[in-house]
Structure 1
Amino acid sequence: MASSLIFVFGITNLSAQSDSLKMSRKEAESIFLSKNFDLITQKLNISQARARVLQAKHWPNPTLSLSEINLWRTYEVDELPGIIGDWGKTSQIAAQIDQVIQTAGKRRKNIELQQIEVHGEEFELQEVLRELKKDLRHVITEIIYNQKQQLIYKNQIESIVKLTKSYQNQLSEGNISKAEYIRLKAQELDFKKKLVALHQDLEELQTEIKAFLILPADRHVYFVDDLEVPQKDISESNLVRWTQLAKENRPDILIALNQEKHAQKNLEIQQALKIPDLTFSINYDRGGNIMKDFIGVGIAMDLPIFDRNKGNIQEARIEIEKSGIETRKNKLKAENEITSAIRNYQRTQKIFEDIDADYEESLDKLLVSHEKNFRLRNISMLEYMDFLETYIDNKLIILDTKKELNQYFENLQYAVGQDL
C-alpha cells in the first residue's frame, strides 16, 4: 500500500516538475499546421513536383561529336592548307551536331502530365492534413477527457482522505469498528489506483500530442478547454448536401479524379511514342572526301516496324479503367462513412438529451449532502459508498457521452472532407 502511495505522488511530482504548456484546441491546431513534420515533408513533395514541371519544359540538349582526327601523319597524303600556320596540313577532322526534335506533341504532353502530378501532390497534402487533423483532434479530446476524469478522482481522494483520518481517530478512541475504517481506506486506495492508471494513460497521450506539435520530451501539455458538446444540427436531412460536399472537397476523391486525368494523359503520351522522333544533324568534314571543307545536313528517325508501343498503350488503357473504379469506390465509401457518422452521433445525442440540464449540478449537491450526513452518522457507510459509486459512474457517463459526441462529430467532418 505504501508503495502505491509513493507511486501516485511520484507521478504527480514528475508532472509538476516538467514545463507545463497551457493551450486551447485552436492554439494546438495552429502550432500543428506550422510545425508538423509530415505536413512540411508533403509541402516539399509539392516543390519537387513543380521542379519536375520546370525540367519537362526544357528541350533536349544538342549533341556535339568530333571524329576522324588523326594524331600522326600517314603516307601518301594530300596536303591541305594549315590550320594554324604550317600546322595541320596533313590533319583530318570531322564534326557533327545532332538535335532531337520530339514529334506528336510529346514535350507538351509530358509538361501537362507533370502539372497533373503537381495537383496530385497538392491533393495528397490535403489528404495528409485531413488524416492528421482527425487524429490530432481525437487525441486532444482524449486528453481533456482524461483531465476531467482525474479531477473527479482527485476531488474524491481529497474528500475521502479527510474522512479516513477522521475515522482513524474514531478507531483509536474505540468509537467505530476496524471493519468500517478498512472499508473506507480500501476505497481511498482504489481511487488512488485509478488515478495512477489515468496518469499512465495520459503519459501515452502526451507522447502523441508532442509528436503532433513537435514539442520536446520535458513538456507537459494541458488543455484549458472544457469538454463541450458540438453545436451543430446533425441529421440525415443533410446527407445529400454533405455527400455532394464530399465529392467536391474530399481529398481521396480528388486524388482519384486526378489519377484518372493522369492515366488519360499517360495514354496520350504512349500513343505519341509510337511515332518516332526526328534527329536533325549538321556536319563538317575536313579532308575526308572530294571536298576540302565539306558541310552537310542530315535527318534520322527510327523505323516503327517491330515496336509500335502496343503493350504500353494497352497498359495505359487498363490504368484508366482502374482509376475510374477507384473514383467510384471512394465516392461510395464517402457516402457510407457520412451516413454511419450521422447515425452514431444521433444515437449518442439521444442519450445526452435524456440527461437533464441541471442533472450534473444536482449530483454534486447530493454528494455534498451525503458526505455531510455520513460525517454526522445520519447515514451508514454502505449508503454513502453506494451513492459515491453511483455519483462517479454518472459523472463518467456524462463525460463519456460528451467525448463520444466530439469524436463522432470529428468523424463526420473527416468523412465530409471539411470543417462543418
Structure 2
Amino acid sequence: MHAPTGSEPDPVSVFRALLTDEGRHLLEELRSYDPGRELAVATRLRRDHPAELVSAALGQARLRQRAAAKFGPEDAGRMYFTPDGVEQATRASVAAHRAGRFAALGVRRLADLCCGVGGDAIALARAGIHVLAVDRSPLTCEVARANAEALGLADRVEVRCADVTEVDTDGFDAVFADPARRGGRGRIFDPEAYSPPLSWAVAAARRAPYAALKVAPGIPHEAVPEDAAAEWISDGGDVKEAVLWFGVPPGVRATLLPGPHTLASAGLPDPPVGPVGRYLYEPDGAVIRAHLVAEVAERVGGRLIDPTIAYVTSDDLRPVPYASAYEITDVLPFNVKRLRALLREREVGTVTVKKRGSAVEPEDLRRKLKPSGPNAVTVFLTRVAGAPTTLLGRPVP
C-alpha cells in the first residue's frame, strides 16, 4: 500500500495567497481578463507564478466578471468572491435601499447574521452603520473581511466566524438575517428548511429593537408573521427578494428600484372586472407578489380584464411607476392563423410576446407567426372574462 502523497489544498490558505503582493499583482494583470484566452493566459502566468496561485487568480477573475452585474464593475473589480457568494449576495442597489431604511430608523450598530461575502455589510457600513458580520464558513469570513478592507470600510465592519444561533445580539440597535435558501438540491422553498430556519430568525428579530429578514419572494402571505411588515423589492423590473421588517408598523408594500418607488397596501377590495379599454397596465412583479394590484387599479382608474389575471385596463392614460402602460390596438379571440395574417398585413417583423393566464409558449408562437417587416408590436396572450384572448398594442413612452 502506498502512503498518501498529499491532500487537497486548504481553501482559506489558497484565498489568503491572493491577498499577498504577488496575488494582488496577478489579479491586477487579470483585470481585463478574456475568458476566450484563458488557456494562453494561464500558460504564460505559470512560467512566473505557482500554478495553484494562478488557478485561484483566474477563478477570482471569472467571479469578478460575474459579480459586476450585482455590484457594478468598479466595486466588483476590487472585491473578492466565492461561487456561492456571487450567486447568493444581495444586489448592491437592493442592499443600499435596505441600509437606507435602517439608517432612517436611527440604527447605528447592527448584527448582520449569515453575512456571506459581505454585500449587505458593505451597504450598511456606507450608510454610516457599524456592523458585526457573522458567518459560519471560515472561507466566507475571510472573503467578507477582505472586501471590507478593499473598499475602505474595515473600521465599520467586524467579521466574526461563528454559528449565528450562538451570537449574542444584545446591545445592537438592529439585526439583519439572510438565512441560506439553497441546499445540495438547489433552491429551498420551505422557510423552515432555511439554514437557520425562519422561525429561529423571527425569534431573533423580535429580540432586537429593529430587524429585517431576507426571504424568498415566493413566500406565502400566510407565512408572514402578524407583527411583521412585508416588503417585496424589484430592481429594473425583476423581483429580487422579500423582506420581513420588525419594529415598524405591520403592513405590506412593494418597492421598485431604481427610485425608490414604494406602494403601500391600502386594504382595498378586488378591483371590478370589465372590457378591455384603450390602455393596458402591466403591474410590476413586486406589486403582484405583494397583492397590490387593486392599489394600481385605483391609481389609474382601471379595472381587471379577468378576475384571475393581473392585467389592469383603463380608457385613460395615467402613468404610474408601478406598472408599464401599453396602448391597445386590437382585441382578438386567440387564433394563430388570424394573428399571423394580421401581422403580415401590417408588415410586423418584431414581435414581443407577453403572457399571463395562457398555456401558449411565447417562443412557439413566435416561430409560428414568422414575422417579417419594419414594424413592431407587443402581443399579449391572456384571458378576458375567461376566454383565451390576444391583445395587440405598443408601449406608451
**Greater RCO, 1 or 2 (C-alpha within 8 Å, sep 6+):** 1
Higher strand share: 2
Higher helix share: 1
In our comparison, the structure showing a higher alpha carbon Rg is 1
Structure-1-length-normalised TM-score:
0.17
Structure-2-length-normalised TM-score:
0.18
